[in-house]
Structure 1
Amino acid sequence: MIGALPFVRRQVRNLGVSLAFVVVASGLWYWQERDVRERLVWMGIPDWTIDDPLAISRVLRNDGVLIGWSDLRVNPLWVSYQLHAVDDARIGERPDFHRDWRTLWPITADSYFGSGYDRGHMAPNYAIAASYGREAQRQTFLMSNVSPQRPDLNRRLWQRLEEVVIDHFATRFGTVQVITGPIFDEGIGGVFHRVGFVEVPEAFYKIVVVPSREPRALAFIMPQNVAGNEPLDRYLASIDEVEARTGLDFFPHLPGPVEHRLESSVKTAGWRLSQVARLPSRY
């Protein structure tokens, strides 16, 4: 019995060393992950202004992109990324869609088949590929970056807005922060309007910010039932309106007076929106 004591002590000491290693490694990972996340979103990760079980989400990190993923709505609730001016935007061939192993439900490339809805990118293929490279482009084709969109929205109006953001806004201002995502029907019936597991949004929002000392912002809300050839400025909204319809608090680290100025009203000065609002799609 006495001879067993040194063995027990060694085991306890080894266990203590292992636990200390796990704690230190976990702490280093946490701080590194938090630092990476903070660099992918300006003025803080979106927070919730409502106490609602449907608001439960978790953050997924891709190359250049953060996703606030909901396993209840089976949708990205928000997707955040920065775009920079690109001189030579050469991108690879369009990848195939793939299931994201990080999501709870098995949403596959064929999950929308026959539904009448497109697999609508939230972080756009072209802009992310141009800004962050081939692997980042592949990750935009994970189904966690996708939400059901009507074809006239996805292939026309929404695509035109994505192109204006990368081709004109990023080029004009150098860097823009984008947060985008779905807006769901507030009624109980909306929860049951689904394509398989995936809840179908009634609209989509996109917020574009120039992150400077005196930031400026544009926000858009686009419903599903568009024709696709409408001018982009028809769908301007304030960030406060987007927050009211989503329950999200964007840019929570902004000082109060700056937040009020940026989010309370629509200000188009300096964006030259009238020059690009009716541009045709690249494709």
Structure 2
Amino acid sequence: MPRRKGAMSKSSMFFLSIFILSFATFAQAGPLTEEHVLGGLPSNGTVLERNAYVVEYDTVHKAPRWLAYHLVPGYRDVPKRTGKWATYRNDPDLTEEPSDNDYSGVFQDEIRNYAHGHLAPYFISGGDRDGDGKLAEEDTDDKETVYQINYQTNLTPQHHNAFNGSGGVWYELETRIREDLLNEHGELWVFVGTIFGPGSYDVVGDNVHVAPLFFQIVAWKDENGAPQWEAYLLPHHQKAHGDPEDYLVSVRHIEALTGLNFFPDFDLQNLKRKSTAK
């Protein structure tokens, strides 16, 4: 189909998006990346910094490539997820991100049943992050943190009934991280992301790709300050089955599938025997 007069080509829009992302990165404050990323950045791509997470966004698939967030108990203190706190929002640093219109009708589809899937969960976006004694309901900065958790750049289509809804393995893993592992270790760092490879994918709306695989790597420090971790590779099932522990893999396995390099500042060979995952 001929392009409308004055319309930009896909390649032009792609490079414009990269330019905008690059500007956004240099405009952000470095300490947020230092807070949310343990052991060094896993790639050399452009990183968008948000109060509760940092993300490298994949503009081709319209999905987060990887995202990292830091978690302490106070961050679980979030407003009730209703009204303005449940509203999905456009990311001001992107022009070609998904929109709510892209999800129109797919949640009601008996087979596809895709919902807005958070990579950084809503329930870690709380707390008094600026230390002024106020939470999101009363504080502008902390309110913005909750708003940012609902940015489209933190969302991707996920099967609701069998994957990210109650009883799904994604839901169960998020609960394990937020409750069991955090209560056990007191402080966590999490990498989470999508995995695409060669071939075609299910698509919703305006070319928003549905990831066939997801990963999560949750890390903490032991009593000596040495990093420990669990790594999970999660097939995007449309039928719920299995427990999170059934999907434990090595960090190297996820690196082989993604091309990412996790914990580059650590000597993984010497730490391998201390890791939860073999």
Q: Could you tell me the TM-score, scaled by structure 1's length?
A: 0.72
- Structure 1, residues 158-192: CA drift from partner, whole Å, max 9, x if none? 112111111111111010100001111x22324xx
The aligned residue for residue 209 of structure 2 is 199
From 200, 203, 216, the equivalent of 1:189 is: 200
From 149, 152, 169, the equivalent of 1:143 is: 152
Partner of 1:79, secondary structure, is strand
Query: Is the Cα contact below 8 Å between 1:71 and 1:103 reproduced in 2?
Result: no
Give the 4+ runs in structure 1 shifted more than 3 A.
Answer: 29-32, 86-90, 130-134, 256-263
Query: Is the Cα contact below 8 Å between 2:62 and 2:97 reproduced in 1?
Result: no
- Following the alignment from structure 2 to structure 1, what is the Cα–Cα distance between the partners of residues 57 and 210? 15
Partner of 2:184, secondary structure, is helix
- Following the alignment from structure 1 to structure 2, what is the Cα–Cα distance between the partners of residues 85 and 131? 11
Using the TM superposition, give the Cα deviation of residue 262 of structure 1 relative to its aligned residue in structure 2, in angstroms: 6.3
Partner of 1:189, secondary structure, is coil
- Following the alignment from structure 1 to structure 2, what is the Cα–Cα distance between the partners of residues 163 and 130? 18
State the number of aligned residues: 227
Query: Is the Cα contact below 8 Å between 1:181 and 1:205 reproduced in 2?
Result: yes
The aligned residue for residue 61 of structure 2 is 73
Partner of 2:92, secondary structure, is coil
The aligned residue for residue 97 of structure 1 is 88
- Match status 1:36 vs 2:27: no
Using the TM superposition, give the Cα deviation of residue 39 of structure 1 relative to its aligned residue in structure 2, in angstroms: 2.3
- Match status 1:120 vs 2:117: yes
From 93, 102, 106, the equivalent of 1:111 is: 102
Segments of structure 2 that go 5 or more residues without pairing to the other structure are: 1-24, 107-111, 130-141
Partner of 1:209, secondary structure, is strand
**1:106–1:35 CA distance, 2 compared to 1 (3 A):** closer
From 242, 246, 255, the equivalent of 1:243 is: 255
Query: Is the Cα contact below 8 Å between 1:126 and 1:137 reproduced in 2?
Result: no
Query: Is the Cα contact below 8 Å between 1:98 and 1:141 reproduced in 2?
Result: yes
Partner of 2:192, secondary structure, is strand
Partner of 2:56, secondary structure, is strand
Aligned sequence identity (%): 24
Segments of structure 1 that go 5 or more residues without pairing to the other structure are: 1-28, 49-56, 268-283
The aligned residue for residue 63 of structure 1 is 51
Matches within 5 A, 1:199-238: 199-212=209-222, 213-238=225-250
Using the TM superposition, give the Cα deviation of residue 31 of structure 1 relative to its aligned residue in structure 2, in angstroms: 10
Aligned amino acid, residue 194 of structure 2:
P
Query: Is the Cα contact below 8 Å between 1:179 and 1:206 reproduced in 2?
Result: yes
The aligned residue for residue 138 of structure 2 is none
Q: Could you tell me the TM-score, scaled by structure 2's length?
A: 0.73
The aligned residue for residue 42 of structure 2 is 46
Using the TM superposition, give the Cα deviation of residue 226 of structure 1 relative to its aligned residue in structure 2, in angstroms: 5.0
Query: Is the Cα contact below 8 Å between 1:83 and 1:131 reproduced in 2?
Result: no
- Following the alignment from structure 1 to structure 2, what is the Cα–Cα distance between the partners of residues 114 and 88? 31
**1:257–1:157 CA distance, 2 compared to 1 (3 A):** closer
Aligned amino acid, residue 158 of structure 2:
Q
Matches within 5 A, 1:253-264: 253-255=265-267, 257-258=269-270, 260-261=272-273
**1:31–1:134 CA distance, 2 compared to 1 (3 A):** closer
The aligned residue for residue 5 of structure 2 is none
Using the TM superposition, give the Cα deviation of residue 59 of structure 1 relative to its aligned residue in structure 2, in angstroms: 1.0
The aligned residue for residue 277 of structure 1 is none
| Structure having the larger proportion of residues in helix | 1
The aligned residue for residue 177 of structure 2 is 165
- Following the alignment from structure 1 to structure 2, what is the Cα–Cα distance between the partners of residues 162 and 259? 25
**1:256–1:220 CA distance, 2 compared to 1 (3 A):** closer
- Structure 1, residues 230-278: CA drift from partner, whole Å, max 9, x if none? 2211111111111111111111111353465567x825xxxxxxxxxxx
